[in-house]
């Protein structure tokens, strides 16, 4: 009963907006992150199949391993970028900027690109999504008061798993059906919506203390310049 009550509290008037927006953002993060991993092989493989002859499509059979290896290194600049901007730009602006930049990297992929261009664009997109994924797991605990922080973040994490489960329906099924444009547009739309949702979060948590009660979740900018602590 206590657990059920804790789950209901995340839908209280003070938290319902933050909770629903967080679910959208964290769903989009997992959906796009794991989708980009799958697209690394699918875009090039199916582009060859859809645009070339069967003989030609069999030629680069092992090149996907190279592409996956290269794009996996996008994790490092993503982590470094998030560390550099999170306390300078704040949580909201950092995530929103990286979501929108990710869209810019994805849009050229609506049409068939060469292997090198595709890998480069996916590298940039994965860098941005890695950054947003890192920041959202820092921002999420800061949205909830101490007594229910674990519940709020845990439920949000469960929602993100759903995004990871359904992304193959787009990243694999659509692309294998030679619907590359539809797949990329869908991913870009999800990422763009996530960026908008980030901007709609009710408050920025940069430089603020963690709230201990529901009354403390309505954060304001610190007014004590000496301590830099939030006045709640």
pLDDT of residue 211: 78
Secondary structure of residue 87 in the 3-state scheme: coil
| Cα–Cα distance, 123 to 128 (Å, whole number) | 9
Give CA angle at 146 (140, 147), nearest 5°: 120
- pLDDT value at residue 92: 94
CATH 1.10.275.10 fits 20-207, yes or no: no
In the chain, domain spans: 20-207
- For each of the chain's 232 residues, which pLDDT tens digit applies? 466 776 788 888 888 999 999 999 999 999 999 999 988 888 766 555 565 544 444 445 455 678 888 888 999 999 999 999 999 999 999 999 999 999 999 999 998 888 889 999 999 999 999 999 999 999 999 999 888 888 899 999 999 999 999 998 888 888 888 888 899 999 999 999 999 999 999 989 888 887 777 765 654 444 343 333 333 3
Q: What is the pLDDT of residue 3?
A: 64
Query: CA-CA distance, 37 to 64, in Å (whole number)?
Result: 11
pTM: 0.83
**Residue 12: predicted pLDDT:** 85
pLDDT score, position 212 = 75
Q: At what angle do helices 91-106 and 180-199 cross, to 10 degrees?
A: 160
H-assigned helices in the chain:
2-9, 16-51, 54-57, 63-72, 75-85, 91-106, 115-143, 149-168, 175-176, 180-199
């Amino acid at each position: 009963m206590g657990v059920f009550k804790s789950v209901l509290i995340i839908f209280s008037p003070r938290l319902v907006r933050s909770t629903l927006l967080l679910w959208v953002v964290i769903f989009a993060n997992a959906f796009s992150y794991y989708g980009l991993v799958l697209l690394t092989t699918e875009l090039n493989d199916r582009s060859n199949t859809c645009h070339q002859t069967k003989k030609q499509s069999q030629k680069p059979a092992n090149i996907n391993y190279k592409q996956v290896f290269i794009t996996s290194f996008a994790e490092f600049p993503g982590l470094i970028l998030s560390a550099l901007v999170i306390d300078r730009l704040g949580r909201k602006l950092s995530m929103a900027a990286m979501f929108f930049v990710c869209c810019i990297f994805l849009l050229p992929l609506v049409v068939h690109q060469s292997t090198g261009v595709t890998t480069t664009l996916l590298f940039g997109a994965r860098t941005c999504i890695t950054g947003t994924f890192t920041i959202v797991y820092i921002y999420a605990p800061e949205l909830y008061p101490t007594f229910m922080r674990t519940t709020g973040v845990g439920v949000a994490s469960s929602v993100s798993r759903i995004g990871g489960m359904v992304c193959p329906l787009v990243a694999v099924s659509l692309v294998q059906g030679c619907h590359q444009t539809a797949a990329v547009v869908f991913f870009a739309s999800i990422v763009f919506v996530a960026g908008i949702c980030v901007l709609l979060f009710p408050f920025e948590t940069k430089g603020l203390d963690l709230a201990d009660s529901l009354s403390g979740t309505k954060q304001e900018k610190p007014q004590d310049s000496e301590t830099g602590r939030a006045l709640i």
